[in-house]
Amino acid sequence: MRKSLLATTLAIATSIAISSWAQTPTSKATDPLAIGGKDTAWFMDRINRPDLDSEPQAPFKLAGNVYYIGANNIASILIATPKGLILIDTGTQKMASVVFPNMVKLGFKPADIKLMLLSHAHYDHMETMETIRRLTGATVAALEPELQALTSGHDLGPNETWGQEPLEVGRILQSGDDIALGGTHITVVWTPGHTPGAATYFINTMENGKPVQVVFGGPPNPNTGSAEYDTRPADAFAAYAALRQMHPEIMITGHPANLLKGKLEALWAGKGPSPLTLAPGQWEKMINNSEANFRHKLTTGEASGGGD
Ligand SMILES: [Zn+2]
């Protein structure tokens, strides 16, 4: 009887202890694994999620000396110049086994990477960038408004993800800058919203003796309706104006699975005009639609932004 009472008391005490422990909230500030504003639970969830965007995909030429060497739904762009390689976005950790083999398959050496650029500071586009920088000694160049997220390792976008290894940035870019290496010129345009320093790149190359411009990225995705992350309308309008000055012929995006659907065979075969060629007026239409949408959200106070 006494023994059973003791057992019951112990069981009650244990259950109180367990429930009070389970109810103790994990403070993000003291969580040793917290990074980019996410706590341990978020991390564990991410590990359990299948990453289908980083699956291998064979590389193809976009135009001239510009190649797609990324995964099935996360881009990595290689520009091969006589003075070395430029890489825009390096993808997830899982994509290290996609990007490097693709580079080698095309006949290029990872050791020749001299310059790295990024679309924006979200881990899925540059999780391995600092590692590659250390291995190759390449310079990382980034727009000034993205520096804080890059050097701290914390994702400062409106739809925060888990951050990345802090990145050493060797060159700070301003919107409109000309980035040149080995005769190739790239214009960067600041397209803020998705993250504070998101960028769109216009890569000038030659295809069959003719100049061709490849755009990586597109109109901004300005953030509205969030006190913390609102994009300054003036910055968004400046981006639209700058994008209107550009006249790209071929477009590739950061998560291109939909864009590439039904076009991969032709891209791998590399014959005829690129299936990624923009239709006449398509670029201007994209900018106009995005800007009209942004103006509408500004007037209605509707929340927008985010995306991936
Ligand atoms: Zn993103």
Q: Where does the pLDDT of residue 279 fall: very low under 50, low under 70, confident under 90, or very high at 90 and above?
A: very high
Mean pLDDT is lowest, of 99-103, 154-158, 289-293, for 154-158
Q: What is the pLDDT of residue 272?
A: 84
Q: What is the pLDDT of residue 14?
A: 45
Q: Is the pLDDT of residue 1 over 90?
A: no
Q: What is the pLDDT of residue 26?
A: 42
Distance from the alpha carbon of residue 122 to the mean position of ligand 1, in angstroms? 5
Distance from the alpha carbon of residue 51 to the mean position of ligand 1, in angstroms? 15
Neighbouring residues of 257: CB distance < 8 A, sequence distance ≥ 6: 53, 72, 73
Cβ atoms 233, 297 nearer than 8 A: no
Distance from the alpha carbon of residue 158 to the mean position of ligand 1, in angstroms? 10
Distance from the alpha carbon of residue 275 to the mean position of ligand 1, in angstroms? 25
Distance from the alpha carbon of residue 120 to the mean position of ligand 1, in angstroms? 7
Mean pLDDT is lowest, of 48-57, 68-77, 135-144, 158-167, for 158-167
Mean pLDDT, residues 214-243? 93
Q: What is the pLDDT of residue 71?
A: 97
Distance from the alpha carbon of residue 190 to the mean position of ligand 1, in angstroms? 15
Distance from the alpha carbon of residue 194 to the mean position of ligand 1, in angstroms? 6
Q: Where does the pLDDT of residue 7 fall: very low under 50, low under 70, confident under 90, or very high at 90 and above?
A: low
Q: What is the pLDDT of residue 226?
A: 79
Higher model confidence: residue 153 or residue 57?
Answer: 57
Q: Where does the pLDDT of residue 77 fall: very low under 50, low under 70, confident under 90, or very high at 90 and above?
A: very high
Residue with tokens 């994990």: 26
Q: Is the pLDDT of residue 169 over 60?
A: yes
- SS (HEC) of the chain: CHHHHHHHHHHHHHHHHHHHHHCCCCCCCCCCCCECCECHHHHHHHHHCCCCCCCCCCCEEEECCEEECCCCCCCCEEEEECCEEEEECCECCCCHHHHHHHHHHCCCCHHHEEEEECCCCCHHHHCCHHHHHHHHCCEEEEEHHHHHHHHHCCCCCCCCCCCCCCCCCCEEECCCCEEEECCEEEEEEECCCCCCCCEEEEEEEEECCEEEEEEECCCCCCCECCCCCCCCHHHHHHHHHHHHCCCCCEEECCCCHHHHCCCHHHHHHCCCCCCCECCCCHHHHHHHHHHHHHHHHHHHCCCECCCC
Angle between helices 282-300 and 233-244 (to 10 degrees): 170
Mean pLDDT, residues 50-72? 95
Cβ atoms 78, 106 nearer than 8 A: yes
**Domains defined for the chain, CATH in brackets:** 53-300 (3.60.15.10)
Distance from the alpha carbon of residue 23 to the mean position of ligand 1, in angstroms? 33
Distance from the alpha carbon of residue 17 to the mean position of ligand 1, in angstroms? 42
Q: What is the pLDDT of residue 50?
A: 77
Task: Tell me the per-residue pLDDT of 110-136, one tens digit each, with 9 for 90 and over.
Answer: 999 999 999 999 989 999 999 999 999
Distance from the alpha carbon of residue 21 to the mean position of ligand 1, in angstroms? 36
Q: What is the pLDDT of residue 278?
A: 98
- By the CB criterion, residues less than 5 angstroms from ion ligand 1 are 122
pTM of structure: 0.86
Q: What is the pLDDT of residue 60?
A: 98
Cα 214 from chain centre: 17
Q: What is the pLDDT of residue 15?
A: 44
Mean pLDDT, residues 73-94? 97
Percent of the chain having pLDDT more than 70? 82
Neighbouring residues of 92: CB distance < 8 A, sequence distance ≥ 6: 51, 53, 54, 71, 74, 123, 124, 127, 128
Beta bridge partners, 86, equal 79, 115
Task: Tell me the per-residue pLDDT of 190-225, one tens digit each, with 9 for 90 and over.
Answer: 999 999 999 999 999 999 999 999 999 999 999 888
Distance from the alpha carbon of residue 7 to the mean position of ligand 1, in angstroms? 54
Distance from the alpha carbon of residue 65 to the mean position of ligand 1, in angstroms? 26
Task: Tell me the per-residue pLDDT of 12-50, one tens digit each, with 9 for 90 and over.
Answer: 444 444 433 333 444 445 555 565 556 667 666 766 777
Distance from the alpha carbon of residue 4 to the mean position of ligand 1, in angstroms? 59
